[in-house]
Structure 1
């Protein structure tokens, strides 16, 4: 088995390395004074926006689910469709943030800007012009408890990219086959995994390699500053999201959805809980068995009253025939 990658660039606040110079002198972190020159007043409001979300007031994006809530996220990408399954029981804070960002379309048309073969795919710098959504994406969330039972990372596992305690915001990664060493830090607690289309994720363009100085990929400062135009002009082969849809599934009590059926209806994909479908099918099968059993039961005995009436009719007919025969016989005797 191939060795896991020990990447010097994995000091995640979105995977930025230790050296601020790699971002052209602009390390985009909320607590860095220089960030105001990049993002303006929007970052100043990020913490207030996050507190607003927690209180549930205002119109900021908000998501509060049960511990057993799950979500199916389906996305079209330039390399083909992918389906992701998020579990709130794995990482409540991470689940809420990730699901809400996908629901709000934050990732739509954004690029997979860091694609390192055998290691990871990173994304999460959106191009939204919605100031409220942008501020929400820059605000941070608390860490979730570490989940040793989900380690080591398997290919397709998903986590936030952070730089330290309570640093998760909007950047995430999908693990490749040698990322098993990730997930040791609290800010890397996984919240989901790719369940379909992993072959498309593995086919994302990797030719640029990691960001400098470990590769020739894009730097994050210019992405924040120039948006999609920077990627499209300097790194045109990078893959990107098209649009995504989210289906939340609430679970009452214990139990986890094991599988999901996707049904095409009028051109749209509708998610159906496979357990519900199975339960309905079981009820139909049970009803059919009952019906078959009923057909095998003995036919009820013929009602006695009906039989008596029919017997009387037959007897009357026979007596009538006998009377007519005797009458004809007497008439014949008289004529002779």
Structure 2
């Protein structure tokens, strides 16, 4: 039995071979219904794109480098899964780079692999993006959760959701709220802190910024004594993993959540709804962010600098669960 090709698929579906090719290499230019028909026919026929042949004809490897700061943080596997699915719809595979929160390593790491990939996606980079762009030469690049002039990016806009979280705590009677900040070199942490300070000021709540902590369970644990010293009755944590650590640290000090202290996280990672009580948090459309980042990247690959500098925001939403309650008497 002969191996299926774009020509046999085109003949089967009575469309042009170029349309079949675009369904894989540039899906945005093919109607959704038609693209789904092509992908279904390809799956049934056992067709898959031949990356090696494409590399010889186009000079492209079909690999996209993805830089992330910490794959052990549950937010990033969600994002990576979305990026993988979006990339494979464009016949691409990902080369994943974990900087382990070491900003000084990011430039070196991307420089080492820049010759192997067609382009890069920088997800929540800790280094200055200008340094990273310099390290990869003229390769196309998009950012996730970082805005840099001249660089295409997509990000989660948490401002309204954070305002909703602070308003929720105010409604419950909390007058002093502790902010457990994220890493000092995190653009997202800086934005969330600014949004929390603005929301607290507008709603007449005292916000005690406890400083920067690692975006990890241990970081949340480290912050628990400072939470107690602040005399706050509620906590806004940089992310869910930090919030888990805060809850555990407070429990170790004999305090209950939410009876003694309310806790709000951010990101709505899968474990947030599995803990007891379930974590009150801010949820983000991670899959949409991933799809948009890959789409921006391929627009850059195909159209060059004309597409550079596009910024696409996605709004998050506040979700009330079990770790917030009325201020204790």
TM-score > 0.5 by shorter chain:
no
| TM-score bucket of the superposed structures, by smaller chain | under 0.3
TM superposition score normalised by structure 2: 0.23
Normalized per residue, the structure richer in helix is 2
TM superposition score normalised by structure 1: 0.23
Larger RCO: 1 or 2 (CA < 8 Å, sep 6+)? 1
